């Protein structure tokens, strides 16, 4: 397994991707699409809920973000996984596992515990991102690039919440 790219190279290419994406979407789609991911969850959630709970479309949040497959859904749920899969396979790094090694070091090999905490963590990141109005892509990369005040406050919140909990959780080693 090689070491992969420097994070600086990956970040640089991401910055270029952001700019190209904004220029291209502004030209071809009529308005700029800055990189962001968490609203994709709302669109898909709306589609799923609509299938089982008719009338859910009336919720004001689904009116604001109408359930449909849009640019971000294509990006988050199709593009990113396929790109990551191709990169992993091409470099011989696809490795199926349920429990990350670092998690196991602190919490052991119990699958149910990891599945539950991953679910709870996923719940909180999307719930929190929607309350804040964005995630590390929307508020972090795109927001801070536009020097938006909301981006800086939200990113500070990510670390205010994340660092103390991580220091407590991962301090112990089994």
Partner 1 sequence: MEILLGFLTGLFWGYIFQRARILRFEKHIGLLTLKDFTILKFLLSGVIVGSFGVNLLAQFGIISYAIKPTYLLANLLGGIIYGLGWALLGYCPGTTGGALAEGALDGFFGLLGGLTGAIVFAHTYDFWKEKVLTIGALGKTTIPSLIGVSPALAGLIFSLLLIGFCLFLEKKGL
Site for partner 1 in 44-103 (CB under 8 A): 44-46, 48-49, 56, 59-62, 64, 69-88, 91, 93-103
Footprint of partner 1 on 153-172 (CB under 8 A): 153-163, 165-167, 169-170
Burial grade of 171 (CB within 10 A; 0-12, 13-18, 19 or more):
exposed
**Pick 19 or 108: Cβ nearer partner 1:** 19
Q: Between the CA of residue 157 and those of 34, 136, 167, what are the distances in Å?
A: 21, 11, 16
Select 95 or 174, whichever has its Cβ closest to partner 1.
95
DSSP 3-state of 5? coil
Q: Does 120 bind partner 1 (CB under 8 A)?
A: yes
Using CA atoms, how far residue 92 sits from 22, 80, 86, 102, 172, in Å, is 33, 18, 10, 21, 32
DSSP character at residue 78: I
Considering only residues 100 to 119 of the shown chain, the ones binding partner 1 according to CB under 8 A are 100-103, 114-119
Q: How far is the CB of 33 from partner 1 (least distance, A)?
A: 8
Question: Whole-number minimum distance, CB 46 to partner 1, in Å?
Answer: 7
């Amino acid at each position: 397994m090689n070491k992969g790219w420097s994070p600086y190279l990956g970040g640089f290419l991401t910055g270029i991707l952001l700019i190209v994406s904004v220029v291209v979407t502004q030209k071809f789609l009529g308005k700029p699409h800055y990189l962001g991911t968490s609203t994709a969850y709302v669109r898909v959630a709306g589609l799923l809920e609509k299938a089982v709970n008719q009338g859910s479309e009336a919720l004001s949040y689904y009116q604001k973000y109408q359930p449909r497959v849009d640019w971000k859904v294509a990006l988050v749920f199709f593009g990113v996984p396929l790109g990551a899969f191709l990169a992993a396979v091409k470099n011989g790094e696809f490795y199926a596992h349920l429990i990350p090694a670092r998690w196991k070091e602190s919490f052991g090999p119990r699958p149910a515990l990891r599945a539950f905490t991953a679910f709870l963590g996923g719940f909180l990141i999307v719930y929190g991102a929607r309350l804040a109005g964005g995630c590390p892509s929307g508020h972090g990369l795109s927001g801070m690039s536009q020097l938006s005040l909301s981006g800086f406050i939200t990113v500070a919140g990510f670390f205010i919440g994340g660092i103390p909990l991580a220091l407590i959780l991962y301090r112990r080693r089994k």
